[in-house]
Amino acid sequence: MLKPILLVEDDKRDLELTLIALERSQLANEVVIQRDGAAALDYLKRDGDYAGRSEGNPAVILLDLKLPKVNGLEVLEAVRADPALRSVPVVMLTSSQEEADVLKSYQLGVNAYVVKPVAFDRFVSAIADLGVFWAVLNEPPPGSLKALRHNEQP
């Protein structure tokens, strides 16, 4: 069973473009969409509306920086503070090139910081590459479901 990709994005245009890009990369992973940081944390921690969701963490979190309710840095901080979530790769996917945002993201433990390209073709290519890397190529920590399947004997 493939782990989902959690996409946390509030901008409708960026959300649509990201979904198109992920679709073009032909990943089989389900994409779970959250439109604000509070909903993303509820999903990740299986709280509120997501208390009944199946156990397991996403393959990667694609996280916008500027979100309603709880911003991306606060989501990142909460993820890294939770032992059950701290090994989940987090990619900050944002339009902010502010040095302070980049620095703070890395201080909080982001795995990658990607500035959204303005040109459609570059955006699609960047998202497709991200999806393939984190959902397919990246070797997860020992003990995760993908790592266990990867090491099974034929």
Q: Which one has a higher pLDDT value, 97 or 74?
A: 74
Parallel/antiparallel/unpaired status of strands 60-63 and 90-94: parallel
The structural domains of the chain, ordered by start, are 5-150 (3.40.50.2300)
Of how many residues is the chain composed? Answer: 154
pTM > 0.85: no
Burial 38-64 (b: 16+ CB within 10 A, else e): bbbbbbbeeeeebeeeeeebbbbbbbb
Separation of alpha carbons 33 and 42, rounded Å: 12
What is the average per-residue pLDDT within 84-111?
A: 92
**3-state SS, residue 38:** helix
